[in-house]
Every structure is written in C-alpha cells, then in structure tokens.
Structure 1
Amino acid sequence: MRLIISFLLMVIPISADFDDSLARNLMMPISGAAYSDSPQQCLDKKMAGAKVSKQVTVKCDGFRDKCSAFTFVDEQRKVIGISFRGSANAAQLITDMAETGFEKKVDFKDGGQVSKYFNDAFLDVWDGGLGADLSYLIMTYNGYDMWITGHSLGGALASLASAHIVSLDWYDANRIFLYTFGQPRVGDQKYANVHDTFVQSAYRVVHDRDLGAHSPPEFMKYVHHKYEVFYENNMKEGSPYTVCNEQEDKKCSDKYLFETSIEDHTHYYGQDVQRYGKGGCK
C-alpha cells in the first residue's frame, strides 16, 4: 500500500495550499500596485526591499485604453514576479466584457482557445518588453519562487502568462504561484485543462458576488480553470473561505447566476483595489 501511495504522489501533481495571509498582505497589494504608474510606492509600503525591475504600458484596444504590467524582484524573500494591471476604468471594464463576449475565441499558442481581447492584450504587453525582462530575471535569480498576480483584466493576463511561462519551459512549474483577484473566465474547456496541467499552485480569489468572475458567461463556452478561493463575506481579517477544486463548482461563486455585484468586483480584503494601488497601498 505504501508503494502505491508513493507512486501516486510522484505522478499526481499536488498544489501547494492557499495562503490567506500571502493573498491578503502581499499578492493583493502587488496586484493593486499595477494600477499605479509608480508601483514601487506599494512595494516599499507592503513588501519592503522588493524592487520594480520594469514596467510596460501599451495601448490595448480601440478606445485608447492601456494595458500594463511590471516585473519585480525581492532578494530577501527570494521571489521574482509579475503583476498585471486590471481595467483602468468603467469604460474599459465594459469594453473587456463586450469584446470577450462578442468576439470569436482565438487559438492560444500554448493550448486551447481564449478570448481574443485577452490574448491580444497579453501579447502586446509580453512582446512590449515584459517577456524580455522576465527572461533576464530568470537568468539572474534562477531558483527563486515566481509570483504572478493581477486583478480583474489583470487576472486574465496573469493566467495566460503563467501557462505561457510553463509551456516555454522557462521555469520550474513547482516554483510558480498564481494568485488572481476577480479574474474573468479566460478561455474554453481545453484551455482550462491545459492551465490545470501546467500551473498547480493557481488560485482565483473571488469576493462573494463579484461580477467579473461570471464573465464571459458559461453558455459562450468559457470555463474557469481551478482552484477557486471563495469568500462569501466581507473578507475582513479572519473571514472564512472555501477552496473549490472543480473548474466550475456550485459550492463557490458558480452558485450565483444573477444578482452579481460591481462593488464586490472592485473591492478585495476591504480595499478598493485600484484606488488602493494608485494611492501607494496606504
């Protein structure tokens, strides 16, 4: 029996446990920092010693909205990472939803089909210098953990980035930790399966009735990848949460079909994520 269990442990990928403190005190602030043109302010406040390596901001849709992300390194914690900016305003959020909902999916280079809007935005930022800087950080700090995060649209781009990095075989998948907040559905069933295979420590944090987590809708053949971390409350310190292991699980946010909330989408752990990040995480 022990031999069988040992064999199963070798062949079945096991995700690291979700860490509420990590999500609350570091990953969410890092996600918020991406909304700022000076993300170092948030790092100085919440992750002392960490340094922004490069911030890339590019035009990403027909309404002159911009997508942005930054790379960082923390030699004290032995972490390198990426944070992707979410929708900059209500107009961009509406554009995100409209374009992901009505445009056809496109082939994602690493497997499955994904929203054209998300795919184009990711490639614009990645090819705009983010990928090259991450490559430099990987060569310089190989052996560090890698954190990838983002809120809203940023969560979708973070999802694509994590799968892409593993597909390129750039980094040990066991050292990659993906934490997103209010992430929309990114792609189809095949993409969800591919992502689940590639990225084991992947957590989609969802605040109660968050509208973003329900977009685009399932009837348009979009499927969330796992794992979901669901807070059916105000997310104050010590609040309970449920970790759902299925891609779409009725024990978590998929229980809600109606009465979703913009307020829950913009607020995580008691903070308006965008305002918090732009204000230097104070």
Structure 2
Amino acid sequence: MPLTYDEITTTLRAAGCVFAEDEAALLLGTGSDDLAGLVGRRVAGEPLEVVLGWALFCGLRIEIDPGVFVPRRRTELVVREAARLAPPSTDPVVVLDLCCGSGALGVALAHVLGSVELVAADVEPAAVRCARRNVGAVGGQVFEGDLDQPLPASLRGRVQLLVANVPYVPTEAIALMPPEARWHEPLVTLDGGPDGLDVLRRVAAVAPRWLAPGGHLLVETSEEQSPDAVDAFAAAGLVARVVVDEDTEATVVVGTLVSAPAGTIGG
C-alpha cells in the first residue's frame, strides 16, 4: 500500500521536520513509485530540495542534484537588486554568474530581464552538470573551473551584471550549521575561510577585468561581514554600498565599476 499523507506527515514530524505537512504534500506531488524511498532520504537528513530534485527560487523551479548547493530564499535579494540595476537597452544584458552552483541566480535574472547573454562558471563538476541543464534552458553557457579562470577572453570588459553567491561562512562556524547543509552540500560551497570572506575578496579582485564601465558586482554576505566586504570591493577599485532586506535577513554588497581599468577592454 502506498504511504498516505498522514503517514508521511507523522514520519517527517517525528524526524524533526518543522514543516512536515508542507513537505508531505510536496513529496506526494512527485508521483514517485518509490515514495517510501523519498521519505526515507528526507528522514535521513537530505535537503528536501535534493530529494524533490528541484528548489523554488524567485518563483522558478531550479533543478537540484545531489551534491549541489541549494539556493536560499534570502539570496533572491541579489536577483532583485541586480534586476533593478540592469541598464535600459534593447540589447541583451550581459550577465556573469560566478560560483554559480545550480545556476539559480543567472536563470532567475534571465527570466526577470527577458533578454540576456548569460555566462556562468563553477569549480564543482556536479554543480556544472546541474547548471548546464538550468542555464542551457535559457540559452546560457556554463564553464568549469576556478572562479574566472575558464571564462572566454571575449567576455572581458563587457559584463554589465556580475552576480556571485560565494561561500561566506567562517571556517570555525561550519560546525554550527544545520546537518543537512554540512552533510549534503560540498564544503567548498560553504567555507569562506577564517573570516568568511576569502572567496568574496577573490571575486572582487577579478571583477574589474570583466565588468563594463558602469557595470555592477553583487555578492551576498552577512550584515556583520559587510563592512569588511565593502573594504574588499573598494580595494579592487569598485564603488561599494550595502543593501539589506530585513524580512529575509539578507545582506548584499554592490560594487560599481566607474571606469574601466587600463588594458581591460579588448585585453
């Protein structure tokens, strides 16, 4: 006999799932022939999005594979702010999504803006495989490699919106994260180094070579880290400011390239 809604809810609630009723409905909605297996995976601690095979982000279903970072709701602030900053033009907006994971940021921007030239990159092979499905569906490209290392030279000096969902959890704080993140998401997607800003600094440092004059870099961080993040952006030659959404407790640092660094365009 297939599991019922009440049976799934009871099982999930006993496992500590706070939103057991909602999760039960979503699992039933998969129509899977192995519903008991899906419930068992969730009870064992796998993120619900991984069990379902998708995450809801900016109203879109983004495909999620095992071993791929699950986009958080608070990160939607990056998309909203980037869309607000998009230049008014009849030409496609050039968007670069670094540390792209599933590709959620770039895909969401493609849907919001309507016409984009989207390029994404990630160092994790599993993320790249997943992102190629999501990003490919909106006509974008995904490259595999460390930060900007695999990007085509033709992109230099042309990016109008550079978004990056970098890891920003300090190394010592990883142990305090929920088990489903620690056990099922790659450490490289969580660990931001001693103060959580190692990757953010690297992204800020390389951003000017890719940004067009007037282009913007947007990176999520924590409110406590934002002053140091602003300093990192300034050190890279970007004019920085902080955007906060109190409802989702989201903090985004925005950096603008006022003028192109020497040798960037066509370099």
Q: State the TM-score, normalizing by the size of structure 2.
A: 0.31
Greater relative CO (CA pairs within 8 A, separation 6+): 1
Q: State the TM-score, normalizing by the size of structure 1.
A: 0.30
Give 1 or 2 for the bigger CA radius of gyration. Answer: 2
